Amino acid sequence: MDLLKTFALFVVTAVAEIAGCYLPWLWLKQGGSVWLLLPGAASLALFAWLLSLHPTAAGRVYAAYGGVYIGVAIVWLMVVDKVKPTMTDWVGVALCLAGMAVIMLGPRAAA
């Protein structure tokens, strides 16, 4: 799978996971409607399905996905929660993405 497509799939997967957790949070902590649980559950099911689309070992996919998830979570903080990320937030994202790149682009032993 092309690197750009893989990264885009990670971003979409992260949005699905964050939305799937955010909607129940709105119901529990912000007094939102119980109906928020339905799209939340659908979003989490979408998240699980999206993770299954990657053609490599699940453990490696989860590890690399974690780096992208952290970046998307900080963007969510800024866009949805309206909280301005700090410089250390962005440095942390850069470190996580660098770690993701090491995992995804590192040499592999022949199977």
Bin 2: left if φ > 0, else alpha if -120 < ψ < 50, else beta: beta
Confidence of residue 110 (pLDDT cuts 50, 70, 90): low
pLDDT in tens, 3-27: 788 889 989 999 999 999 999 999 9
- 58 pLDDT above the threshold of 80: no
Residue 18 lies in a domain: yes
Helix, strand, coil share of the chain (percent; to 5)? 80, 0, 20
Residue 110 within any structural domain of the chain = no
pLDDT tens-digit readout, 27-36: 999 999 999 9
Q: What's the pTM value of the predicted model, to 2 decimals? A: 0.84
Q: By residue range, what is the domain housing residue 39?
A: 3-105
The number of distinct structural domains making up the chain is 1
pLDDT score of 109 more than 90:
no
